[in-house]
Structure 1
Amino acid sequence: MTAHAPFSLLRSFPAKTASSLALALALAFPAQAAVPAPVDQPYPGTIVLKVDATNLSQQIFRMRMSVPVKPGPMTFLYPQWLPANHGPSGPLTQLAGLKFSANGKPLAWTRDPVEVFAFHVVVPEGVSTLEAEYQFLSPLDPAQGRIVMTDDILGLQWPSVTLYPAGYVARRITVQPSLTLPAGWQYGTALETAERKGDEIQFKAHDLETLIDSPLFAGRYFKQYDLDPGAKVRVSLNVVADNPESLEAKPEQIAAHRAMVDQALKLFGSHHYQHYDFLLALSDEFGGIGREHHQSSENGVKPGYFTDWARSEAGRDLLPHEYTHSWNGKFRRPNGQDVPNFNTPLQNNLLWVYEGQTQYWGSILGARSGLVAQASARDALALTAARYDNTGGRAWRAVQDTVNDPIIAGRRALAWSNWQRSEDYYSEGALIWLDVDTKIRELSGDKRSLDNFARAFYGINNGSMLPAFYSFEDVVAALTRVQKFDWAPFLRARLDGNGPGAPLDGLKRAGWKLVYTDTPTDYLKASEERSKSTDLSYSLGFSVGADGGVRNVIWDGVGFRAGLAGNTTIVAVNNKVFKPEVLKAAIKAAKDGKAPIELLVRKGNNLRTIPLDYQGGLRYPRLERIPGTPDRLEAIYKALK
């Protein structure tokens, strides 16, 4: 029977039936993208990519690209599945002005109707080089996306400015990049510089995968700190800021960052980079970020990171987290991340290892290095434990399913995040790894720990840049070699279970328990100050901004049952104009009475009064020692010698 035989059968049916069957058969064979599949072969020649990043006033990047070609049909791809984004987040809407030409003559292009990140062009006879020019219209407002260019700072993410030929594995495409910066600006990147002539930087040729994975931060105000003095393999902290004052770090602050690098190297017993560059932006305007790369990381925080050191502690686990990713996520990668190019979908089923264990090590390295005080690390752990112990969505959605959120939600804001759940594989994943760590310690009589797993699993092939992929079975086998135990059902119960409550066995095994008191920890106070909000999650069941805006309503909490939603603003409390301290005073007063707390709220153009029937007083999470048990948290946070 030929491929078309089923259609010949239609003649034996009545016309109406035949028509319906024809439609059904047509729908059974969906349209296919006319995009060549990637093949593991070298692209013939080197692509030259020139980026002009001097247009600060309009925040536009301009690109020119020269591509060696042969006559015939050709397809170019704009990156869609970006490294470390875990989803299809390529900023295609900001690609503009695309033009192709050859020998000075314009060439028409068409977008693929199925794969809209692909552009088709026909190369004429006699043409050996194709020219392309286009722009990346970076966001002007946070509502359009993360701000990557200001008058003083720019962040160049190569996926945003790069097209590449379809039909080839990314590692087999060679690109010669260059960048023109505003006059006098300095920069940091993991890319190797060939030469700099004035404000034009010529980088060495790199394969496309390395280029895409090597962002650059540049700025009017720039300073570089050596975080591993005297080492053969350099580790640098490259800082850009809104002003020169924000760049200045005290010796003890840099010492803590150096200790973080030292503790990571002692933990993993290896490195997998030719050199490592932390890119750190301190800005009120440049968009905040934390994103991992193999030989670098992008980190964007507020300007007071150094100058307001005492109050920046709540964010100082960011750099340890991203540094850990050089081992976990970039060197050792889940096998679902083994894709040939940047337009092949990723599989995220092991993100609870990739991100969850990294979240765990980030907090530990912060504490071991002194970037974060041990007491503050415990307070942060209390907030995580309380959050997931009060996540209503755990009743219907397992943490394993949240690995799909970068694809499902695309990191857009959620109306009911406590019920819908988001990327909980990060922090709930960290609770699971605390469970694993303390279980190993308990079973081994505290002779072994997850530290042993880290060295055995991530410490292989010292100095190698080639990624080593792993499966769930590989993780289980590595844990078993550290400590004999039936790890597969142990992990699956925590990944696929629904509660009730968060997975807090590890906390108990560490010698601590989650409690609530009427006084917030200093760590929580600092977090509230950073976010300009008041956290009443464990009393009234929501947070509230300084302007009275209701946030993060807990599903089936006190506020939820009274009808509050995240698009509501509190105007007054018990007939007094709203202020955070007024609301907290009302909660205290209600503890000894029977009258409800009355909120005057505004939703849109409507005002109404909502009574909150609550007499439980203020409740804030913290950890409390379990008498007569070993303090394994202290052992976990203790610096390695």
Structure 2
Amino acid sequence: MKKLLVLSICAALSASAFADVNYSLSIEQPQHHLGDVRVQFPKSAQAHLDIKLPSWRTGRYEILNLANGVRYFNPTDKEGNPLKWEKIDHSTWRVHIDTPTEISVGYQVYANELGKRARHIDDSHAFIDASGFFMFSESFRQEPVTVNLDVPKQWRSVSGMDNLDSTHSFKAANYDVLVDSPIETGINQLHSFNVDGREYELVIWGEGNYDVELMLRDLKNLVTTGNVIWDSYPYERYVFMVHATSGAGGATEHLNSTIIQRPRDRFGSREDYLGFISTAAHEFIHTWNVKAYRPNGLVPYDYTNMNYSRLLWIAEGSTSYFEDHLLVRSGIETTDEFFKGLTKTINRHLQTPGREVQSASETSFDKWINQGGDHGRNYSTNIYSEGSLLSMVLDIDLLEKTAGKVSYRDVHKALYNNHKLPAGFDEKDVLSILQNLTGLDYSDWWEGHVDSPANIDFDELLNKVGLIFERPKGAEAIASIDAVAKNTGQLLTLTHVQRGGSAWKAGLTTNDKIVAINKLHVNKDLKSSLETFKPGDKVVIDFIRRDALQSLTLVLTEKFDKPKKVTANLQASEKQKALFKAWMGVEHPNDTK
């Protein structure tokens, strides 16, 4: 009898273990941004089932308060009888169960946050990231899932997930795959192509000044470059989702796809198009870096809490760094265009006083709480630009010390080969990889560049690969107060006051409204108002703070009307040219061979 009881329990557990979680989303009021969700959970014998909606979505390290759009929560048992429930925190609903039963939960979602790329519904489409729509239970997180959409007839649904039995039905191995496989459904363009036996789709929602043929040509070239860094591809099918919007912008990587948003008129010019294709490259690289391997603090994802890591500069910054490597090697971007982008990144770094305060490891850990604005710029860095520049420093250092034989690409190849999910990696793993590749101990380098605010000598660094960081000819010295102001109509309002600069030392701060300089009204911009002065001049600034007119004196500092630029060294040596080719994969611009 005891043996039969054990077998019965095992059979019940086995049946539960392989039961699907079924999701359905019905969109009958798209113009009001509303969708009705129903989730069917397998039979549970627990006293209660905690059902949650994520508090953030992957790829955006910020608590988003996604549960605030949920209404009409209604759980029932297998027979449709209502179940008692209570909400126990901001995104958890506890359903009480008297007897073992399957549970069905219905609720409404308000989805009108396009730019957050988690939930959006309107009369032309819906963008469905499971984080913003579909609740889960930790008890069934690893169970297979299905998704069925009931949407307007003229809509088309596309996802990186496999279709179930119709164009509006999908299946995934578990909730983690579902939450990393968004669905774009609506009135859209769909283009398919095949490269090296892998399937790709480009789905575009919204009208814009984009060139579809150009996008397809460059995406086909881009997706061939994975082997520049890694040994294999982690997918067989990949979807590029593009939103041409009325203002929202940004992008997010996913397991088998990406979503890229740009204002509808920001595709046409070469500069705007490079912004698009660079973003596509960034998200494509994430398919390996973050989606195939990522730091320990993000493994596994905790969807309802902050996920801390001191290595987000690798997850995001190194991804930004590799963008240009793939674009240049594939011929999509010229070396001159690469130099222009690198110039912007370096100058942005040099104009960020926070680089002297916060290290890359600190800004990684604090990504969840780091604020932007004036204080952020003065006292913080960001994981993207800081991580990109540190990746470049490490890459060139590796190439120089190994005569071009080892690069930072080899580090990421090793992370992919040795630390694939569900494993993660930490600082010791990266240092071990560096030592295995070079025979050198990089602990001191790490302490000086990652765990401490990095002090990068760009002249010395770029010289190693035959480049120069210099001010353009004809650049002129101009007077400055070391602050940025925005014209708000009648007055200029300070939006950034550089820590340690002349305005800072004199006592000006953000939101001060500049009225006059030496009693002459300032009515256009700071630059034109300072044209008659020289660096070193002492001036009186009249400004408004708390609706009261005040005055102070400051000494103007020296700035230049043109920033320093990255260019090719016309006198580069053969060694420098060889290191440049090992670095970027193409000939040095001034190589005459």
> Structure 2-normalised TM-score?
0.83
- What pairs up with 1:196-215 in 2 under 5 angstroms? 196=166, 201-215=168-182
Q: Which one of 103, 110, 122 corresponds to residue 137 of structure 1?
A: 110
Q: Which one of 120, 123, 145 corresponds to residue 148 of structure 1?
A: 120
Q: Give 2:6's aligned residue.
A: none
| Per-residue deviation, residues 415-461 of structure 1 (Å, max 9, x unmatched) | 41122315x22211111111111112111222332233344443579
In the TM superposition, residue 385 of structure 1 has moved relative to its aligned partner by 2.1
- 1-structure distance, mates of 2:480, 2:328: 29
Is the 1:59–1:140 Cα contact (8 Å) retained in structure 2? Answer: no
Q: Secondary structure at the match of 2:342?
A: helix
- What pairs up with 1:462-501 in 2 under 5 angstroms? 467-499=422-454
- 1-structure distance, mates of 2:181, 2:199: 16
Q: Give 2:199's aligned residue.
A: 234
Q: Secondary structure at the match of 1:589?
A: coil
Relative distance call for 1:104 and 1:454 in structure 2 (3 A) is closer
Q: Give 1:99's aligned residue.
A: 74
Q: Give 1:80's aligned residue.
A: 55
In the TM superposition, residue 485 of structure 1 has moved relative to its aligned partner by 1.8
Is the 1:537–1:553 Cα contact (8 Å) retained in structure 2? Answer: no
In the TM superposition, residue 178 of structure 1 has moved relative to its aligned partner by 1.4
- 1-structure distance, mates of 2:16, 2:430: 33
Q: Give 1:430's aligned residue.
A: 388
Q: Give 1:33's aligned residue.
A: none
- 2-structure distance, mates of 1:612, 1:370: 50
- What pairs up with 1:7-26 in 2 under 5 angstroms? none
Relative distance call for 1:633 and 1:56 in structure 2 (3 A) is farther
Relative distance call for 1:438 and 1:145 in structure 2 (3 A) is closer
In the TM superposition, residue 609 of structure 1 has moved relative to its aligned partner by 5.8
Identity between Structure 1 and Structure 2 (%): 19
- 2-structure distance, mates of 1:605, 1:388: 35
| Count of matched residue pairs | 563
Q: Give 1:441's aligned residue.
A: 399
Relative distance call for 1:494 and 1:132 in structure 2 (3 A) is same
- What pairs up with 1:103-118 in 2 under 5 angstroms? 103-112=79-88, 115-118=89-92
Q: Give 1:419's aligned residue.
A: 378
Q: Which amino acid aligns with 2:383?
A: Y
Relative distance call for 1:75 and 1:607 in structure 2 (3 A) is same
Is the 2:20–2:41 Cα contact (8 Å) retained in structure 1? Answer: yes
Is the 1:588–1:617 Cα contact (8 Å) retained in structure 2? Answer: no
Relative distance call for 1:222 and 1:104 in structure 2 (3 A) is same
In the TM superposition, residue 633 of structure 1 has moved relative to its aligned partner by 4.9
In the TM superposition, residue 107 of structure 1 has moved relative to its aligned partner by 2.1
Q: Give 1:301's aligned residue.
A: 262
In the TM superposition, residue 43 of structure 1 has moved relative to its aligned partner by 4.1
In the TM superposition, residue 570 of structure 1 has moved relative to its aligned partner by 5.0
In the TM superposition, residue 323 of structure 1 has moved relative to its aligned partner by 0.8
Q: Which one of 96, 118, 131 corresponds to residue 159 of structure 1?
A: 131
- What pairs up with 1:564-583 in 2 under 5 angstroms? 564-569=508-513, 575=520, 578-580=523-525, 583=526
- 1-structure distance, mates of 2:114, 2:417: 43
- 2-structure distance, mates of 1:41, 1:625: 66
| Per-residue deviation, residues 273-297 of structure 1 (Å, max 9, x unmatched) | 1311121111124x32221112111
Q: Give 2:504's aligned residue.
A: 560
Q: Give 1:616's aligned residue.
A: 558
In the TM superposition, residue 156 of structure 1 has moved relative to its aligned partner by 1.0
- 2-structure distance, mates of 1:539, 1:319: 38
- 2-structure distance, mates of 1:43, 1:573: 74
Q: Which amino acid aligns with 2:312?
A: L
Relative distance call for 1:561 and 1:398 in structure 2 (3 A) is same
Q: Secondary structure at the match of 1:258?
A: helix
In the TM superposition, residue 635 of structure 1 has moved relative to its aligned partner by 5.1
- 2-structure distance, mates of 1:263, 1:131: 45
Structure 2 gap ranges (5+) = 1-12, 588-593
Q: Give 1:223's aligned residue.
A: 190
Q: Give 1:249's aligned residue.
A: 212
Relative distance call for 1:45 and 1:592 in structure 2 (3 A) is closer
Q: Which amino acid aligns with 1:431?
A: L
In the TM superposition, residue 480 of structure 1 has moved relative to its aligned partner by 2.7
Q: Secondary structure at the match of 2:440?
A: coil
In the TM superposition, residue 74 of structure 1 has moved relative to its aligned partner by 1.9
In the TM superposition, residue 209 of structure 1 has moved relative to its aligned partner by 0.7
Q: Give 1:31's aligned residue.
A: none
The answer to whether the aligner puts 1:369 opposite 2:330 as a matched pair is yes
Q: Which amino acid aligns with 2:288?
A: W
Q: Secondary structure at the match of 1:357?
A: helix
Q: Which amino acid aligns with 1:550?
A: L
- 2-structure distance, mates of 1:511, 1:137: 55
Structure 1 gap ranges (5+) = 1-38, 521-535
- 2-structure distance, mates of 1:77, 1:394: 38
Q: Give 2:43's aligned residue.
A: 69
Q: Give 2:33's aligned residue.
A: 59
- 2-structure distance, mates of 1:230, 1:518: 45
Q: Secondary structure at the match of 1:57?
A: helix
In the TM superposition, residue 221 of structure 1 has moved relative to its aligned partner by 3.4
Q: Secondary structure at the match of 1:551?
A: strand
| Per-residue deviation, residues 288-347 of structure 1 (Å, max 9, x unmatched) | 222111211121112134433454434542111111111111111212222275346523
> Structure 1-normalised TM-score?
0.78
Is the 1:590–1:617 Cα contact (8 Å) retained in structure 2? Answer: no
- 1-structure distance, mates of 2:14, 2:432: 31
- 1-structure distance, mates of 2:29, 2:584: 47
Q: Secondary structure at the match of 2:50?
A: strand
